[in-house]
Amino acid sequence: MPLKRIITIAVIAVSLYACKEDKSAEVGFNKGDAEIAQEEKKIEFGFDINDYIVKRDTIQSGDSFGEILQRNNIGYPAIFEIAEATKDTFDITKLHPGKPYTLLYAKDSQNDSLPSPNTFIYQNSQEEYVVIGLKDSIHAYTDRKPIKYVEKTATGIIESSISNTLEEKGLSQKLANKMADDIYAWTIDFRRLQKGDRFKVIYTDKYIDDTIYAGVHNVKAAYFEHNGDSLYAFQFETDSIKGIVDYFNEDAKNLRRAFLKAPVKFSRISSRYNLKRRIAVYGYKVRPHKGTDFAAPIGTPIMATANGTVVESTRRGGNGKFVKIRHNATYSTQYLHMQRQNVKKGEYVKQGDIIGWVGMTGNTGGPHVCYRFWKNGKQVDPFKQKLPEAEPISDSLKTKFLKEIKPIKQRLDNIFFLDADPIQPENTITEDLNTDIQ
């Protein structure tokens, strides 16, 4: 065979082989890219973040919506247009320092000398966020991150305190708070638990975006052995319109009283109700103190101690900013020296609702809330009153309650006290983005 022909055949063969290799490589590359893209697809705020250049930051003190956009190359005429187009959905004046925000840029914008974002996302809370489209069709909408609720059971045996017991078992301290403040506040003094006391609980943990732990959502049922008593507690909604949820024992008796012991958590009494009080700066003249002062840092949440209707939310003289609540024809309460109020006149509030925050407005020598208590129009010492129990369950609901708790009580009774592996997921529920959970 002539050398020229041999060389020609060799070149063709090499070319065909190369083409085959190129084609194989091309197919493999595309497939690999598709698989990688699928694996790396990251949805956040409803966007595939991988499709954008992402800039994350936090609202600083003094920041405004306009200043943030201007720093990111959006001019004031456009800022005004955006603010006007979105004002029914998002109030641009309500940006709070410390809250995170995210800016999304088109990937090809990196070639621009002054790139500007397509989207502004503001996170008002771990769950809720606002999306504002900044280009083309300007728009805004609010949304929520997906929430997953995981129902679990836990047990514990007290050695020193419930906090230490939970910490040793890797359980949330919020579980202790819920049992101490929401469930057994009037039946167990958690500062005087005894060694050997033990508990079982069915509760729900809350997760955002599947992985971000957001704490204990609620406690469905609990059982506590304390001082020789066996104390059951079952969560039950008594008023679906007002959203009132209480805890009852196995005989449908309400576990709480009509009033909380204090309007703030983790505080101390700095001055008690005293009609014979004398103060040095007033020449030791009798200056009655008709309230109970609870010392707490500025900004501490103040809670309504019972269900009722706000009859005053204002500022007046030495009282400073205050809220007054009428609970029924017999009882009213008042909360003085607030930093600011969280309710308006005419609002209905439930026991435990945050009605304001501790401050120093009016005549006060330090941050505290002065808690005043009226009975039949007269200010009295709440700690010397025989306060009523909370509303009992109605006869029409009692049958429903007893039926509902029967299988739950069986579950509690079948939970064994274990030192190892105390947390066992029972059920997982992923909620639709727009679904509210009671």
Positive or negative, the CA dihedral 179, 183, 188, 189 is: positive
Q: Which of 398 and 438 is assigned the larger pLDDT?
A: 398
**pLDDT confidence of residue 419:** 55
**pLDDT confidence of residue 65:** 93
Which of 28-32, 216-220, 281-285, 339-343 has the lowest average pLDDT?
Answer: 28-32
- pLDDT-derived band at 9, boundaries 50, 70, 90: very low
For residue range 340-389, what is the model confidence (pLDDT) as tens digits? 999 999 999 988 899 999 999 998 888 999 999 999 999 998 888 887 77
Which of 6-20, 304-318, 321-335 has the lowest average pLDDT?
Answer: 6-20
- Across the chain, what does the average pLDDT equal? 82
Q: Which of 325 and 38 is assigned the larger pLDDT?
A: 325
Cβ–Cβ under 8 Å, residues 186 and 257: yes
**pLDDT confidence of residue 184:** 87
For residue range 263-297, what is the model confidence (pLDDT) as tens digits? 998 667 877 766 655 554 455 555 667 888 999 99
- pLDDT-derived band at 29, boundaries 50, 70, 90: very low
Is 26's pLDDT higher than 80? Answer: no
DSSP letters for 65-89: HHHHHHHTT--HHHHHHHHHHHTTT
Query: For the chain, what percentages of helix, strand and coil (3-state, to nearest 5) are there?
Result: 25, 35, 35
Highest-scoring range by mean pLDDT, 4-18, 73-87, 411-425? 73-87
Q: Which amino acid is at 428?
A: T
Query: Which 3 state secondary structure label does DSSP give 171?
Result: coil
**pLDDT confidence of residue 57:** 95
Cα 118 to Cα 41, 67, 223: the distances in Å are 20, 16, 53
Query: Which 3 state secondary structure label does DSSP give 296?
Result: coil
Q: Do domains 147-256+391-431 and 268-384 have the same CATH topology?
A: no
Cβ–Cβ under 8 Å, residues 128 and 80: no
Percent above pLDDT 90 for the chain: 47
**pLDDT confidence of residue 119:** 95
For residue range 109-144, what is the model confidence (pLDDT) as tens digits? 777 788 899 999 999 888 899 999 998 889 999 999
According to the CATH classification, is domain 147-256+391-431 in 3.10.450.350?
Answer: yes
Cβ–Cβ under 8 Å, residues 154 and 194: no
226-238 mean pLDDT: 91
Integer distance in angstroms from the first to the last C-alpha of the chain?
89
For 274-307, where are the E strands, in sequence order? 278-279, 285-286, 291-295, 301-303
Query: Which 3 state secondary structure label does DSSP give 36?
Result: helix
**pLDDT confidence of residue 437:** 36
Percent above pLDDT 70 for the chain: 82
Alpha-carbon gap, residue 327 to 305, rounded angstroms = 10
**pLDDT confidence of residue 267:** 67
410-437 mean pLDDT: 60
What kind of architecture, by CATH, is found in domain 268-384?
A: Distorted Sandwich (2.70)
Is 25's pLDDT higher than 60? Answer: no
Extents of the domains making up the chain: 47-144, 147-256+391-431, 268-384
List the CATH code of the domain at 47-144. 3.10.450.350
Is 20's pLDDT higher than 50? Answer: no
For residue range 184-208, what is the model confidence (pLDDT) as tens digits? 887 887 878 889 999 999 999 999 8
